[in-house]
């Protein structure tokens, strides 16, 4: 756990009301919390965030899935099906800077919590709505999860072995990237608010983000009409740039220019390939991929992964082992970069979570709070934020509003 004082963090003093669940929204608000924002996670009383039950594995009654994206937050339970629950949210909106939600389009309006209504209560509110397809368009009302959006958004089409079936990425990357995009959009809106004095509405969709994240693959189509295909770990236009089996486990290499090609050939004791007319330039290697790749694979199978990594590092060739989780979280660079953080948890004891990936010179982020238990901070929030009396809180509990 990083003992960074809240006041020293870049988003200290910002209060985020988080009505989101699953991954994209909670990932967004976790990033804001890591940078010092006070994040109030609003959950339904009967179970809370769906991911609390997405296991095994579990620890201390909480799923590992839930624990991965809900640190630096406080949890309050509120029943949005009850008028007094809606009124409580409106009061919290008045005391907040940011609202994040991922309800289907139109549902917030039915609750009376749409942006047009809320900005009357708080003109400085930044309201970020995360949905599958966006707030308008022919797919507006369709539900969606990461796997479906990775299919619709083209990612699944380019992921998987050459000639094989489309595959999903091993982590819900469309959700994660949407969360990162949304956190940046919120920070930008807060900066604009400092100049204008006004909040605004942010419409963030998984589909839009996934299309944007296609990067050069999208450009190939938009610029040249070139259809994408699956290449496994290989690269369509750079060779060798992929994973090869070594004697014991796979190793990834990236030979992305002619200098690296010469260094690579020397490192594997195949200097004759440097001037071979079939392989002397990258376009030639791409043209003759069916010849060169089996030759490289044959050589790579002769040494262990660690032996190749040592040789390639000495030759300044980008390379690395294909790590499983055990190897990853014992890797000296990962450990040196503090990519494992520890935080005390009320039912788990010491909880290990992922570290903060962006390093600031003056305002480093901090893991200050563990992922909260369901409703753990209900009394604290109602008392400290809304100044409710103990009697009023007890009444809300009796009526099962909270």
pLDDT in tens, 359-377: 999 999 999 999 999 999 9
Q: How many CB atoms lie within 10 A of CB 291?
A: 12
pLDDT in tens, 57-99: 999 999 999 999 999 999 999 999 999 999 999 999 999 999 9
- pLDDT confidence of 5, banded at 50, 70, 90? low
pLDDT of residue 217: 95
CA dihedral 51, 56, 60, 61 (to 10 degrees): 50
Query: Would you call 175 a catalytic residue per the annotation?
Result: yes
Domain covering 241-245+250-321 in this structure, CATH number: 3.30.1540.10
**Is the confidence at residue 2, as pLDDT, over 60?**
no
**Is the confidence at residue 4, as pLDDT, over 70?**
no
pLDDT of residue 326: 97
Of 18, 79, 97, 175, catalytic = 175
Q: What is the CATH class of 6-213+333-398?
A: alpha beta
pLDDT of residue 252: 98
- Mean pLDDT (the chain) is 96
Q: Mean of the pLDDT values across residues 115-135?
A: 98
Domain 241-245+250-321 in the same topology as domain 6-213+333-398: no
**Is the confidence at residue 1, as pLDDT, over 50?**
no
pLDDT of residue 8: 83
- Cα within 13 Å of Cα(375), Cβ side: 13
Q: Where are the domains of the chain?
A: 6-213+333-398, 241-245+250-321
pLDDT in tens, 201-252: 999 999 999 999 999 999 999 999 999 999 999 999 999 999 999 999 999 9
pLDDT in tens, 160-191: 999 999 999 999 999 999 999 999 999 999 99
Q: How many CB atoms lie within 10 A of CB 251?
A: 23
pLDDT in tens, 281-315: 999 999 999 999 999 999 999 999 999 999 999 99
pTM: predicted TM-score of the whole model, two decimal places? 0.94
């Amino acid at each position: 756990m990083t003992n960074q004082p809240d006041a020293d963090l870049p988003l200290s003093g910002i209060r985020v009301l988080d009505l989101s669940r699953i991954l994209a929204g909670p990932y967004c608000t976790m990033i804001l919390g890591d940078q010092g924002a006070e994040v109030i996670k609003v959950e339904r009383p009967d179970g809370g965030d769906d991911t609390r039950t997405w296991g095994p594995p579990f620890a201390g009654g909480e799923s590992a899935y839930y624990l991965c994206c809900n640190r630096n937050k406080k949890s309050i339970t509120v029943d949005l099906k009850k008028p007094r629950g809606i009124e409580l949210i409106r009061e919290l909106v008045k005391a907040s800077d940011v609202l994040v939600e991922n309800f289907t389009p139109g549902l917030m309006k039915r609750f009376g919590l749409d942006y047009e209504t809320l900005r009357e209560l708080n003109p400085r509110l930044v309201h970020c709505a995360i949905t599958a397809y966006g707030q308008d368009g022919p797919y507006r009302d369709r539900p969606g999860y990461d796997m479906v959006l990775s299919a619709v958004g083209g990612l699944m089409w380019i992921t998987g072995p050459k000639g094989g079936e489309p595959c999903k990425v091993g982590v819900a990357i469309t959700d994660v990237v949407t969360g990162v995009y949304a956190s940046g959009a919120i920070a930008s809106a807060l900066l604009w608010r400092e100049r204008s004095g006004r909040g605004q509405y942010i419409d963030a969709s998984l589909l839009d983000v996934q299309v944007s994240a296609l990067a050069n693959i999208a450009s190939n189509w938009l610029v040249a009409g070139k259809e994408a295909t699956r290449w496994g770990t290989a690269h369509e236009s750079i060779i060798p740039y992929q994973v090869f089996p070594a004697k014991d486990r796979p190793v990834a290499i990236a030979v992305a220019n002619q200098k690296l090609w010469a260094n690579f050939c020397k490192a594997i004791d195949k200097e004759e390939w440097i001037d071979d007319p079939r392989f002397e330039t990258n376009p030639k290697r791409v043209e003759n991929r069916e010849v060169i790749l089996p030759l490289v694979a044959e050589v790579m199978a002769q040494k262990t992964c660690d032996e190749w990594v040592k040789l390639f590092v000495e030759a300044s060739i980008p390379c690395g082992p294909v790590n499983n989780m055990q190897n990853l979280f014992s890797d000296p660079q990962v450990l040196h970069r503090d990519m494992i953080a520890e935080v005390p948890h009320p039912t788990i004891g010491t909880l290990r979570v992922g570290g903060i990936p962006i390093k600031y010179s003056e305002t480093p982020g901090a893991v200050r709070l563990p992922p909260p238990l369901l409703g753990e901070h209900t009394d604290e929030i109602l008392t400290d934020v809304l100044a409710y009396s103990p009697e009023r809180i007890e009444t809300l509990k009796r009526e099962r509003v909270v």
